[in-house]
């Protein structure tokens, strides 16, 4: 009898090692059982094959009966479970896109009790589509807070990969993600934070060829880039499509944030910065350095402005720039005016 059990174990182990399906291995054991039972029924008493396989057919008949009972029990249990699931699905109400489930209501409760936001504002957030350019210092906190706030669809475009030097300030990424494309690292963090949002990662640089088509899929654009060419491109396309552009910038200990939306009121980005500064006058973070928590402060401000714009709450920073000086703990706002001769939003545009 031990010989049969050993052979059964060998069949099961070899099937597992070769990747055979579970049912195929079960059928193989069934064939082994039938073969052994046939030996006991055909061969005479005292035959060596009968002796090494248990001696009596009764033992195998009893074992087969137990196996049949277990199989019947499992089959019946599966049928009952499938029937219960079908009944639950028939009784359960159909999902309604305009209503929140109990888990979502609990998740967004602190938003819903805000008088300026409430349920209608949270519904606008869920229906909104926001594109974030850059998953770096500014994009990291903005993406996390937009996902946490329940913005329904969040796109993120970036062609870079996570580097060890990013982790001092780019809080959406992790050490074990070094070498991973930033958009996929950000997507994983956002989905882990809020599975109710849809994240669309684009691992590529924003270019003239794709900008218009990409922006057309979103309601609002966040610019968290660190180069002027992309900023001017994002501004041109956002103005052409009449979409608000939430813009942030960093330099060492200081950050700034503004909302550029000429279709509503105020200037565009190029009204304030008509041309890129000469090389060396505006060094990058890698060249000049940047305080680690500073992008978190400014990126969070960008997320706040985005939520205000979507929920139509308060006064977004249209026609204004908020400047934060982390070294001296000061903030100030300056007014921004539209330029009549702006090549993007002025009369000659």
Compute how many other C-beta atoms are within 10 angstroms of the C-beta atom of residue 213. Answer: 9
Question: Which run of H or of E encompasses 323?
Answer: strand 320-325
pLDDT of 119 higher than 60: yes
Take residue 113 and report the two structure tokens written for it: 């009790």
Compute how many other C-beta atoms are within 10 angstroms of the C-beta atom of residue 44. Answer: 6
Give the distance, in angstroms, between the CA of residue 77 and the centroid of all CA atoms in the same chain: 37
> Is the torsion defined by CA of 127, 128, 129, 130 positive or negative?
negative
Question: Phi/psi at 348 (nearest 5 deg)?
Answer: -90, 5
* Tens digit of each residue's pLDDT (9 = 90 or more) over 326-339: 999 999 999 999 99
pLDDT of 39 higher than 80: no
313, 117 in Cβ contact below 8 A?
A: yes
3-state secondary structure 112-150: HCCCCCHHHHHHHHHHCEEEEECCCCCHHHHHHHHHHHC
Average of per-residue pLDDT across 142-159? 96
Separation between Cα atoms, residue 35 and residue 152, nearest integer Å: 61
Q: Is the pTM of this model over 0.85?
A: no
Residue 65: HSE in the Cβ half-sphere, 13 Å Cα cutoff = 6
| SS3 state of residue 283 | coil
Residue of 308 and 16 predicted with greater confidence: 308
Domains of the chain, with CATH numbers? Answer: 2-91 (no CATH), 115-335 (3.40.50.720)
pLDDT of 95 higher than 50: no
- 163: which residues sit within 8 A by CB, 6+ positions away? 178
252, 288 in Cβ contact below 8 A?
A: yes
* Confidence at residue 52, expressed as pLDDT on a 0 to 100 scale: 67
* Confidence at residue 35, expressed as pLDDT on a 0 to 100 scale: 75
- 301: which residues sit within 8 A by CB, 6+ positions away? 248, 255, 257, 322, 324
* Confidence at residue 96, expressed as pLDDT on a 0 to 100 scale: 55
Separation between Cα atoms, residue 290 and residue 255, nearest integer Å: 10
133, 238 in Cβ contact below 8 A?
A: no
Average of per-residue pLDDT across 75-101? 65
- 162: which residues sit within 8 A by CB, 6+ positions away? 170, 173, 177, 178, 179, 180, 181, 182, 185
Give long-range contacts, CB 8 A cutoff, 24+ apart: 47-51. none
- 217: which residues sit within 8 A by CB, 6+ positions away? 129, 131, 155
Q: How far lies 328's CA from each of 138, 253, 254, in Å?
A: 21, 9, 10
Take residue 104 and report the two structure tokens written for it: 């979502």
- 327: which residues sit within 8 A by CB, 6+ positions away? 253, 254
21 — pLDDT class (breaks 50, 70, 90): confident
Separation between Cα atoms, residue 93 and residue 325, nearest integer Å: 53
* Tens digit of each residue's pLDDT (9 = 90 or more) over 274-291: 988 777 666 667 777 889
Average of per-residue pLDDT across 114-124? 93
93 — pLDDT class (breaks 50, 70, 90): very low
* Tens digit of each residue's pLDDT (9 = 90 or more) over 199-250: 999 999 999 999 999 999 999 999 999 889 999 999 999 999 999 999 999 9
Query: What is the average pLDDT score of the chain?
Result: 86
Question: Phi/psi at 127 (nearest 5 deg)?
Answer: -85, -10
pLDDT above 70 covers what percent of the chain?
A: 84
Residue 309: HSE in the Cβ half-sphere, 13 Å Cα cutoff = 27
């Amino acid at each position: 009898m031990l010989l049969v059990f050993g052979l059964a174990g060998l069949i099961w182990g070899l099937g597992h090692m070769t990747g055979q399906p579970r049912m195929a291995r079960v059928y193989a054991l069934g064939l082994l059982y039938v073969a052994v039972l046939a030996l006991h029924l055909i061969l005479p008493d005292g035959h060596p094959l009968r002796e090494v396989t248990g001696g009596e057919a009764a033992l195998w008949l009893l074992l087969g009966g137990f196996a049949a009972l277990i199989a019947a029990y499992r089959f019946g249990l599966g049928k009952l479970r499938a029937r219960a699931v079908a009944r639950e699905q028939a009784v359960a109400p159909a999902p309604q896109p305009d209503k929140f489930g109990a888990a979502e209501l609990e998740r967004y409760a602190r938003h819903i009790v805000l008088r300026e936001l409430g349920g209608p504002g949270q519904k606008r957030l869920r229906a909104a589509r926001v594109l974030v350019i850059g998953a770096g210092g500014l994009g990291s906190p903005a993406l996390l807070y937009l996902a946490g706030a329940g913005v329904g669809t969040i796109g993120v475009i970036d062609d870079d990969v996570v580097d060890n030097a990013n982790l001092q300030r780019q809080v959406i990424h992790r050490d074990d993600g070094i070498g991973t494309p930033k958009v996929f690292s950000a997507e994983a963090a956002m989905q882990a934070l809020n599975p109710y949002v849809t994240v669309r990662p684009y691992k590529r640089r924003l270019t003239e060829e794709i900008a218009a088509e990409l922006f057309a899929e979103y309601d609002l654009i966040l610019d968290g880039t660190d180069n002027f060419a992309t900023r001017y491109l994002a501004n041109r396309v956002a103005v052409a499509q009449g979409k608000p552009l939430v813009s942030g910038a960093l330099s060492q200990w200081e950050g700034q944030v503004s909302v550029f939306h000429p279709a509503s009121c105020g200037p565009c980005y190029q009204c304030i910065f008509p041309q890129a500064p000469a090389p060396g006058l505006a060094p990058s973070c890698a060249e000049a350095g940047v305080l680690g928590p500073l992008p978190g402060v400014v990126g969070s401000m960008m997320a706040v402005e985005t939520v205000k714009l979507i929920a139509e709450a308060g006064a977004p920073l249209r026609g204004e720039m908020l400047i934060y000086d982390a070294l001296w703990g000061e903030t100030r706002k300056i007014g921004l005016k539209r330029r009549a001769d702006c090549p993007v939003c002025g009369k000659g545009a």
